[in-house]
Amino acid sequence: MIFSRKQPLAEKACATEAFRLAAFAFFAVLASCTSLPKPDIMAQPESSLPELVSEPASEAEPNQEYGAFTEEQLYRAIVGELEANSGDIAAAGDSYLDLALGTKDLGVILRAVQFASIANDTNALLQLGLVWASVDPADPQPQLLLAIEYLEAGAFDRAIPRMARVLELGGSIDFSALSSRTGQLNPQSRAQLIRALEPLLTQFPDDDSLALAQVQLLAQSGEYDAALTALDTARAQVTQTAGTVLLETQILQNMGRADDAARVMRAGVKVFDTDPILRASLARLYISQDKFDDALEQYAILIAQDAENWEAVYAKALVHLEIEEYGEAESLFQRLIDSGERVDESRYYLATSFERQGQLERAIDNYRLVSIGTNNFLGAQQQATRLSIALGAVDAAHDWLQRVSRGQPRLEVLFINMEAQLLQQAGLPAKAKQLLDRSLNRYPGEVDLLFARVIYFDSIKDLASSEADLRSIIAIKPDDARALNHLGYMLADQTTRYEEALTLLESAIALNPGDPATTDSLAWAQYKLGRYEDALQNIRRAFAVFPDPEVASHMGEILWMMGRRDEALAVWQRALEGAPDDPLVTEAMQRLQTQASEDESE
């Protein structure tokens, strides 16, 4: 630090003191790094960094050796500690990286690794791992550090030798933990890693975690038979744990062997009776098989083993709700609420229980108690509003939503949209229109409210008003792909303004490429213009992503008009298998078949 001649004396004194204290911190940290056991690098949380003291706890011993540091290196280390003290971990890491590479001092290297781990600086960790391994070649820790970094980078040819070196030096690797990092690998990379592990399996046949890693990797690759074979081979050497039971069960489930999975899980639970994860997994397996009584029995055991196993209490309550044992469900949900555990989820499902029993006012009260900002908040308010409207308490429902959203314009707009939709669903379109008109006077130009009114106009077949509001949206927000698509499709489907529709839809697809609804609309406009090949190409794209009956009806009609009637009928029949009597599909079939019969009779 360089002081200006004009710098006030007090500021100079403070800066000097900070510099001096940072120096003490550096030497204290360095001493701890050289004398304490080496840290588990990859599991090093920020809170585990040696404390950066603001006051020295004790002076360094006069004859303590800290390495041969130049004045510049010492300055760099102190700057790094000051940067760390101010919260700039990245800068501190850069300072210590330079110092570690320059001094090759083990204490400095370990300090640099701590900063690089917190910052997730892969490049720095690789450099530090290499220099650490050269300084202390008998230590397995730098080899482990390098193995993990290479593994995550996909450099398996470099990672595997480092893993082998860890084991040769007497260290250990939890290979099962490493394999859990490979779930996102592409199939080719995972296959490469499996092959790369084979020499290690031969070299270290007694390493349990290595054998289990191979099983997990094979399972991740979908090679379930090979995974089971590898697991059977490993049984002679691998100590059975709850984890190995879960691994075998998951493989069997993925193979569609649910009964075998349950058998293995039941046997495992007998051995590991107090393992809550294993027993909870068995309960979930029973639920997937609709064996609800068996699941309830497992949850009851979990609760008996630990009365405050709130996840088990919550899961048990949900099962009771599912099988309509409302009294038991309500009792457990109330217990959770009283204990302050999963309060909002329990309120929501408690309300659901009351609603299913026709106790609508109690349901409304509990839905409204779900806290704002929680996952079920919006769903709870929607249900409460729907039930209030059903009871005829329309004004009370509106007043509640206004009170909850007061001072939060975005939430208020969201609630207005929701309320308008619910009013329309309840057969009260006039009230929905009044609400939207009144709200647009308060929030003029609010595109979400305009679009909600478009939906109302669509429902009463008021094409001119729908178009007016859609054009208002596009004028306010020219890149609103939703409005462009809606208007474009409406013009293509309900008017003869096909060229105008196509222009709008081409703009929409440019803004939202790949969207199946917009692609379907574009295909429909192209069809109306007689561009059948383009239309068929786009409708196939839409149907591949979103095989909806409406898209199927369009694709069938395009194929029919191209003279490919057998293909059209096949498309419609498949759609009706999934959605019997769908009105869009049946209308297209009947209209075109009737037209064909009339044409043939003329």
pLDDT tens for each residue of 514-565: 899 999 999 999 999 999 999 999 999 999 999 999 999 999 999 999 999 9
Name the strand (E) or helix (H) holding 423: helix 409-425
Residue 250 burial (CB count, 10 A) = 16
pLDDT at 178: 61
pLDDT at 442: 93
User: Is 45 in contact with 151 (CB distance < 8 Å)?
Assistant: no
> What's CA 400's distance to the chain center, in Å?
33
Sequence-distant (≥ 6) Cβ neighbours of residue 374 within 8 angstroms? 344, 345
Sequence-distant (≥ 6) Cβ neighbours of residue 509 within 8 angstroms? 515, 518, 519, 522
pLDDT at 249 over 60: yes
Amino acid 313 reads V
Which range of 153-167, 214-228, 232-246, 264-278 scores highest in mean pLDDT? It is 264-278
pLDDT tens per residue, range 8-56 = 433 334 444 444 444 444 444 444 444 333 444 444 433 333 333 333 3
Q: Report which of 503, 479, 482 is spatially closest to residue 491, judged by C-alpha positions.
A: 503
Q: Residue 238: CA atoms inside 13 Å, Cβ hemisphere, count?
A: 23
Amino acid 189 reads S
Question: pLDDT band for position 174 (50/70/90)?
Answer: low
Residues in the chain: 602
User: Is 196 in contact with 156 (CB distance < 8 Å)?
Assistant: yes
Could you tell me where the DSSP H helices lie in 272-408? 276-288, 292-305, 310-322, 326-339, 343-356, 360-368, 377-390, 394-405
Sequence-distant (≥ 6) Cβ neighbours of residue 308 within 8 angstroms? 339
Question: pLDDT band for position 221 (50/70/90)?
Answer: confident
Is 65 strand, coil or helix? coil
Percent of the chain with pLDDT over 70: 84
Instruction: Report the pLDDT averaged over residues 477-490.
Output: 97
pLDDT at 602: 63
Among 171-185, 355-369, 495-509, the range scoring the smallest mean pLDDT is: 171-185
pLDDT at 293 over 90: yes
Contacts from 84-90 at CB under 8 Å and sequence distance 24+? Answer: 84/49, 84/52, 84/115, 85/22, 85/25, 85/52, 85/54, 89/46, 89/115, 89/118, 89/119, 90/119, 90/121
pLDDT at 52: 30
Residue 267 burial (CB count, 10 A) = 11
pLDDT tens per residue, range 455-468 = 999 999 999 999 99
Amino acid 129 reads G
Distance from C-alpha of 318 to C-alpha of 325, rounded to nearest angstrom: 10
Sequence-distant (≥ 6) Cβ neighbours of residue 231 within 8 angstroms? 215, 244, 247, 248, 251
Which range of 15-24, 107-116, 171-180, 331-340 scores highest in mean pLDDT? It is 331-340
Is 590 strand, coil or helix? helix
Tokens of 94: 């850069």
**Residue where the block lists tokens 């996952």:** 375
pLDDT at 502 over 50: yes
User: Is 532 in contact with 511 (CB distance < 8 Å)?
Assistant: no
User: Is 116 in contact with 97 (CB distance < 8 Å)?
Assistant: yes
Q: Report which of 236, 238, 245 is spatially closest to residue 273, judged by C-alpha positions.
A: 245
Q: What is the largest CA-CA distance in the chain?
A: 114
What's the CATH architecture for 480-546? Answer: Alpha Horseshoe (1.25)
pLDDT tens per residue, range 73-121 = 666 666 666 766 777 788 878 888 888 888 888 888 888 888 888 888 8
Tokens of 337: 């609420």
Could you tell me where the DSSP H helices lie in 136-275? 140-152, 156-168, 175-179, 187-203, 208-220, 224-234, 242-254, 258-271
Tokens of 434: 């009044």
pLDDT tens per residue, range 424-439 = 999 999 999 999 999 9
Numbered ranges of CATH 1.25.40.10 in the chain:
480-546
Q: Report which of 79, 62, 61, 67 is spatially closest to residue 103, judged by C-alpha positions.
A: 67
Sequence-distant (≥ 6) Cβ neighbours of residue 445 within 8 angstroms? 472, 476
Which range of 150-164, 170-184, 225-239, 439-453 scores highest in mean pLDDT? It is 439-453
Average pLDDT over the chain reads: 85
User: What's 3's DSSP letter?
Assistant: -
CA dihedral for 590, 591, 595, 596, sign (positive or negative)? negative
Residue 9 burial (CB count, 10 A) = 7
Is 235 strand, coil or helix? coil
pLDDT at 476 over 90: yes
CA dihedral for 400, 405, 409, 414, sign (positive or negative)? negative
Could you tell me where the DSSP H helices lie in 37-155? 71-85, 89-103, 106-119, 122-135, 140-152
Residue 437 burial (CB count, 10 A) = 12
Q: At what angle do helices 89-103 and 122-135 cross, to 10 degrees?
A: 30
